[in-house]
Structure 1
Amino acid sequence: MLLRIAALALGVAETLRPRQVVDFWMNLATEDEVTLRPWVYTAARIEGLFLVLWALRRRSSDD
């Protein structure tokens, strides 16, 4: 249950604001300034959508 809630929250954040989410995690992962390619944010948005769909689908199948 907690994993689904976390996946749903991260998925919504990644879908709506992919730049902020990716930049936050990249700042944690690296010490240097990193320039990301534009497709990274599109991939993050798609990943967020899949996380939301997974969390909602798992929730409906457990009920």
Structure 2
Amino acid sequence: MLPALIAAFGLVELLFPDRFLDVVTRMAYEGDGDMTPKSWVRTVVRIEGAVLVLLALFIVGRRSSGGDEADD
């Protein structure tokens, strides 16, 4: 369940960084002022999304290959 949530969150960040920033900004700040992120923020959001997707795939891959079992 957790890998699916991580992957979904990562995909949203990776595919829709502007929309993601809009939602997070509205949640994090009070007021109706125009808050514009710096130019590098979109790139960082995409990188974070890609890392989350890769993390979720890594977790699923480990679980499916039996990586959690102890070696004898």
The two structures have a TM-score, normalised by structure 1, of 0.90
After TM superposition, give the deviation of residue 10 of structure 1 in Å: 0.8
After TM superposition, give the deviation of residue 38 of structure 1 in Å: 1.3
The structure with the largest alpha-carbon Rg is 2
Cα separation, 1, equivalents of 2:24 and 2:30: 11
Higher helix share: 1
Structure 1 residue runs without a partner (length 5+): none
Cα separation, 1, equivalents of 2:29 and 2:2: 26
**What is the letter of the counterpart of residue 62 of structure 1?**
R
Structure 2 residue runs without a partner (length 5+): 65-72
**What is the letter of the counterpart of residue 30 of structure 2?**
E
Cα separation, 2, equivalents of 1:5 and 1:15: 15
